[in-house]
Amino acid sequence: MTKLATIEYKKRRQTLLQQLPQGAVVVVQCAPVHIRNGDVEHDYRQDSGFYYLSGMVEPQTTLVLTNSVDGPMSTIFCRSKDKLQEIWHGRRLGLDKAPDELLIEQAYPSESLTEKLIELLDGASQVVYGFGREDTAALLQQSLSALRSLKRQGKAWPTQLVDLDPLVDAMRLLKSAAEIDQMALACNISVAAHKRAMSSCKVGMNEYQLAAEVHHQFAMQGSPRVAYGSIVAGGENACILHYTNNDQVLQDGDLVLIDAGCELDHYASDITRTFPVNGRFSESQKIIYEIVLAAHQAALACIKPGAVFTDMQDAAAKVITQGLIDIGFLTGELDTNITDQTYRKFYMHNIGHWLGMDVHDVGIYKLDGESRPLIPGMVTTVEPGIYIDPDDTDIALQWRGIGIRIEDDILVTESGYLNLTAHLPVAVADIEALMAGEWLPI
């Protein structure tokens, strides 16, 4: 698996510390281990914010960054080498290798965290940590109390608490060239996986079997895991937005919606395509599909530096509303329908989300209450959809249970945008040709 260079992590730590005053101490903790069932753990996946600053994949790890008078300093607390533990549970980086491997100045064993943290916090002006992390808050409370109890020995404790997340989130929102390369690679793998799913889909397969085709391709092209739980939703299951049961048989005449993306070195890709299980769209399915596709294209056409998120949403909503009026799902004037957001019955989510180390990536969507302008280096999904409630008796039977979403991953560039997942067929004719085994000029 390709990985970002270690220097990238060091630069991030420097960039973060440059934004903080002298005397600031940053405390960042790794993701906790979660039990799956009995004594079996869930696959360990590092916390994105922690990995962003450390490049360290192991649990039981804490990173402390200090802006002292002697300059910036990084300290990592990690697991010591332990032959017996490593025989049973796997390799550890260890204290000797950690500084060189991670370009961090000093390493201490995890067990010494409470004690050493008191030393690192002594005389500091402020502590910077993620306010959402209760474990870190508890750790700091303990350390600060201990420090206060030592005041007669001349110890001084920081009196300011600063939230780390807005600082790191703002950095993560703008992707570096190396990050963009990594995300583009993840997108290429996911494109290939969706193509494999289209090519191998057959009537009578189970949804989880089609999911396996996607995951097989991820692995064969170098991605060891998914970026999020794959959605493989046949027929009306596609109307459940976060359907992940993936355990129903795919039926002749139904569509199947696949929302799946691989993860590469902690970077996500996130693609949705909807295609006919038997390889041919029905007339009703095609009509709805073309509306969603037109909305997708209208949203894409808005993307350029300075455009705002709501531009994309408004463009997509307008196309979808007109389409729903044209087929008689909505009545009345376009403008009135848009003002009343009547489309929300059929298109109930937003146009997209930031994409990065988390699939729904960090970064705020509004600045001072206004939708924030796009800047080159941001990556967003564009994913309009139409979902027709299978139980909606106001709608003719032929339409009920149709659920369609089309999602691509978009990098904002100086000149507009780059669709990182553009090589995956999206037009009806191209999807049908791919499913029929015909050559596609890609």
User: Where would I find the beta strands (DSSP E) of 45-125?
Assistant: 62-68, 71-78, 106-109
User: Is position 119 annotated as part of the catalytic site?
Assistant: no
Return the closest-CA partner of residue 278 out of 257, 256, 259: 256
Catalytic pick among 216, 349, 372, 423: 349
CB of residue 121 to Mn ion, shortest distance in Å: 40
For Mn ion, the closer of residues 280 and 360 by Cβ is 360
Exposed e or buried b per residue across 198-232, where buried means at least 16 C-beta atoms within 10 angstroms of its C-beta: bebbeeebebebbbbbbbebbeebebeebbbebbb
For Mn ion, the closer of residues 79 and 175 by Cβ is 175
For Mn ion, the closer of residues 53 and 357 by Cβ is 357
Alpha carbon distance 210, 235 (integer Å): 14
H/E stretch holding 219 reads helix 207-220
User: Is position 360 annotated as part of the catalytic site?
Assistant: yes
Alpha carbon distance 246, 264 (integer Å): 23
User: Is position 361 annotated as part of the catalytic site?
Assistant: no
User: Is position 242 annotated as part of the catalytic site?
Assistant: yes
User: Is position 215 annotated as part of the catalytic site?
Assistant: no
Catalytic pick among 45, 89, 242, 344: 242
SS3 199: helix
In Å, what is the CA distance from 294 to each residue of 145, 369, 384, 437? 60, 29, 10, 26
Catalytic pick among 13, 172, 215, 353: 353
| In 19-111, alpha helices (H) | 48-54, 83-89, 94-102
H/E stretch holding 377 reads none
| Interaction between residue 179 and Mn ion (CB under 5 A) | no
**Two tokens, residue 285:** 């399915």
Alpha carbon distance 371, 364 (integer Å): 9
CB of residue 413 to Mn ion, shortest distance in Å: 20
For Mn ion, the closer of residues 248 and 381 by Cβ is 381
Q: One-letter amino acid identity for 32?
A: P
Catalytic pick among 47, 169, 207, 259: 259
User: Is position 387 annotated as part of the catalytic site?
Assistant: yes
| Interaction between residue 270 and Mn ion (CB under 5 A) | yes
- How many residues in the chain? 442
Number of residues interacting with Mn ion: please give it, by CB under 5 A: 2
Site string (367-406) toward Mn ion, x via CB under 5 A: --------------x-------------------------
User: Is position 196 annotated as part of the catalytic site?
Assistant: no
Catalytic pick among 387, 408, 417, 432: 387
Helices 177-200 and 428-435, interaxial angle, to 10°? Answer: 60
Catalytic pick among 236, 270, 409, 432: 270
For Mn ion, the closer of residues 236 and 270 by Cβ is 270
User: Is position 259 annotated as part of the catalytic site?
Assistant: yes
| Interaction between residue 230 and Mn ion (CB under 5 A) | no
For Mn ion, the closer of residues 107 and 410 by Cβ is 410
Q: Which stretch binds Mn ion (CB under 5 A): 131-139, 164-172, 268-276, 295-303?
A: 268-276
CB of residue 236 to Mn ion, shortest distance in Å: 20
What positions carry a catalytic annotation? 39, 242, 259, 270, 349, 353, 360, 383, 387, 405, 407
Binding footprint of Mn ion on the chain (CB under 5 A): 270, 381
